[in-house]
Structure 1
Amino acid sequence: MKFKGIMLMLVMSMVLVFAAACGNNSEGNGGNGEESSDKVSGDVLMDGSSTVFPIMEAVAEEYASAQPDVKVSVGVSGTGGGFEKFSAGETDMSNASRPIKEEEVKALEEAGIDFTEFEVAKDGLSIVVNKENDWVNQLTIEELQKIWLGEATMWSDINSEWPEEKIVLFSPGTDSGTYDYFNEVVLEEEQMNKEATLSEDDNVLVNGVTGSKNGMAFFGYAYYLENKENLNVVPIVNGEGEAIEPNAETIQDGTYEPLSRPMYTYIKHSSVKDKQAVNDFAKYTFENAGDMAEAVGYVALPEEKYTEALDKLNEIAGK
């Protein structure tokens, strides 16, 4: 009897240990209905805006530590180029530095692709000049328009006290959402000066301005911050008549207007539902986008905006 009693106790102990282990495993796999530590595998394909790229690249790098078996590809075809790939069914997510256009929505509808727009951060489109340029202390939107339409080709055309030297322009390419935004807000849909050098790569624009004393370019705030030791940012006169530089505060509160703007990612519903990796990465994005945006030089949204995005994501996934 003694032997049987000992054996019974051992068996019961093993059962309790096994049960505890199962309970812990269940909790770690999302048994509490909230966070999951499950390992995920698969791929996430996204393309689009070079302005949004630094945020998504930072998120993808951090995510790789948590989910090393997921391959996240972040392309930079520009906002328009990204939407073309999105409507062709080549990507799960499309990053954009402007809202989607009607014709792009139509292309997605014709392809039978359901999607949702999510805001991820804020940006201040930054006007920059060469570090040696010590004469441009501010510009109005009207003056910017004259320069970029080619109506003013010399600095002295803007201000007679400025050098009588030709302005050298560097612009994002026509597939860029930054180009579209500038074209709408500053150029009012008129033809940009054909002598401007265009590129989808913002680093080309930075190098263009740093290499030319009379250079001028525009691009996202993060690229200015990354290169601020070699560039001067130009204060822009807002609707109140104040010359405002872009920074975290002026971009967030809207005083740096009209060049403050939201940045987006668009997510395909079927990818969220059918690809665990996409759902998991998207969730990770909205849990970390604020910190990542600030880490790379953009401005985070209020926390409730990210909470709303997570709720919407769960709704799409049917959770």
Structure 2
Amino acid sequence: MRVRLLSIACTVAVMSAMPLAACRHTPRSARAVITVDGSSTVYPLTEAIAEDFQRVSPTSHVTIGVAGTSGGLRRLCRGVLDMAAASRPIVAAEAASCAAAGIAFVELPVAFDGITVAVHPSNTWVESLTVDDLRRLWRHEAEGTLLRWSQLRPTYPDREVHLFGAGVESGTFDYFTGAITGAPRDSRGDYTSSEDDNTLVQGVAGDPNALGYFGFAYYETHDEYVRAVAIRADANSDAVLPTRDTIRSGAYRPLARPVFVYVNAHSLDRDDVRRFVDYYTTHVTEVANDVGYVPLEARVQAAVRARLEARRTGSLFAGDAGVQTRTLAARLGVE
């Protein structure tokens, strides 16, 4: 597993979109620069592929930022990025912003992820939660009122509950709130928030009263420090833990989701960007397995590759605010 908590120096480098090479002390030279920014959830996958690509293509240089999905897509639509990484589909307002700026994009689903709800390992009282439990805990009406575990369930201890979750620039925030509270961006605000999943993992790992949510890859790599909570879609459903199998099958409802890269179509005219995106979509299955993501099925991956080769612009999710209504295979026409 190559995903890891970033060192302080590398975290600063990534947040400022400094080159990956800076973390490896590789001398900088005049090389083609490929710019990527966006989701911290997708960061470990893109980082691993970029490192591999730079080994086989030493004349190329990939910089990766973690401004969050919304931040990355805004920069893409301003024309200052070659690629944006996203943990949710682009929404209509963002697509309209790209169109107004004359920026066409190619949307490429690259893997599946499951938003993991986690607690500290010393937490002995929470084994599973229903979607309704999470809704009561995270909706905006809970702010300043639901502050103790015993308020969530009377059988839980009378201890403070400390929440950690995605920041408002994060695609994980948009997806989680849409799936759990029922309306994207409907959330309480009195929690520790970050667009960086590393920060959330560290927060939960250091607080026995904590509950947080973040990407599955971050949980899988640090499962000795945090414990996943099984989710029940409703009171009558089985409790399901996030695993590669439950995420791939869709049994981990409603928190299994695809993740994406969005490529500036104009950038694909550059040989270095075209080769990197081709490398990304060719090798993402093997790398996804290595860094804690769930690979796409072969037929879905082939359809994504065909989408790239045709430079098909626009979103598969246009006019659809959610990702649960149709499968990715159906959207790509290969179900």
TM range (shorter): 0.7 to 0.9
Aligned AA (2:266):
S
1:268 aligned onto 2:268: no
Cα distance in structure 2, aligned partners of 1:294 and 1:153: 38
Which residue of 2 is the match for residue 87 of structure 1?
77
Secondary structure in structure 1 of the residue aligned to 2:89: coil
1:252 aligned onto 2:241: no
Secondary structure in structure 1 of the residue aligned to 2:168: coil
1:184 aligned onto 2:178: yes
Cα pair 1:156 1:162 within 8 Å, conserved: yes
Q: Say which of 99, 109, 115 aligns to 1:119.
A: 109
- When normalised by structure 1's length, the TM-score is 0.84
Which residue of 1 is the match for residue 198 of structure 2?
203
1:98 aligned onto 2:88: yes
Provide structure 2 residue ranges, at least 5 long, that are not aligned to the other structure: 1-30, 313-335
Which residue of 2 is the match for residue 8 of structure 1?
none
Aligned AA (2:176):
F
Aligned AA (1:177):
G
Q: Say which of 148, 160, 167 aligns to 1:166.
A: 160
Secondary structure in structure 2 of the residue aligned to 1:125: strand
Cα distance in structure 2, aligned partners of 1:236 and 1:259: 9
Map 1:23-34 to 2 at 5 A: none
1:304 aligned onto 2:294: no
Secondary structure in structure 2 of the residue aligned to 1:298: coil
Which residue of 2 is the match for residue 71 of structure 1?
61
Q: Deviations over 1:184-236 (max 9, x none)?
A: 11122364222201111211111211221110110000010111001110000
Which residue of 1 is the match for residue 217 of structure 2?
222
Cα pair 1:57 1:74 within 8 Å, conserved: yes
Quick one: percent identity of the two aligned structures?
A: 36
Cα offset, 1:307, TM superposition = 2.2
Which residue of 1 is the match for residue 231 of structure 2?
236
1:137 aligned onto 2:158: no
Cα distance in structure 2, aligned partners of 1:248 and 1:288: 18
1:193 aligned onto 2:193: no
Cα distance in structure 1, aligned partners of 2:191 and 2:102: 38
1:316 aligned onto 2:311: yes
Secondary structure in structure 1 of the residue aligned to 2:63: strand
Aligned residues: CA RMSD: 1.4
Cα pair 1:93 1:266 within 8 Å, conserved: yes
Cα pair 1:238 1:255 within 8 Å, conserved: no
Which residue of 2 is the match for residue 154 of structure 1?
148
Cα pair 1:143 1:158 within 8 Å, conserved: yes
Cα offset, 1:315, TM superposition = 2.2
Aligned AA (1:304):
R
Cα pair 2:119 2:212 within 8 Å, conserved: yes
Secondary structure in structure 2 of the residue aligned to 1:119: strand
Cα offset, 1:79, TM superposition = 0.3
Cα pair 2:88 2:172 within 8 Å, conserved: yes
Cα pair 2:128 2:230 within 8 Å, conserved: yes
Cα distance in structure 2, aligned partners of 1:68 and 1:163: 56
Aligned AA (2:172):
T
Of 232-241 and 109-118, deviating more is 232-241
Cα offset, 1:116, TM superposition = 1.5
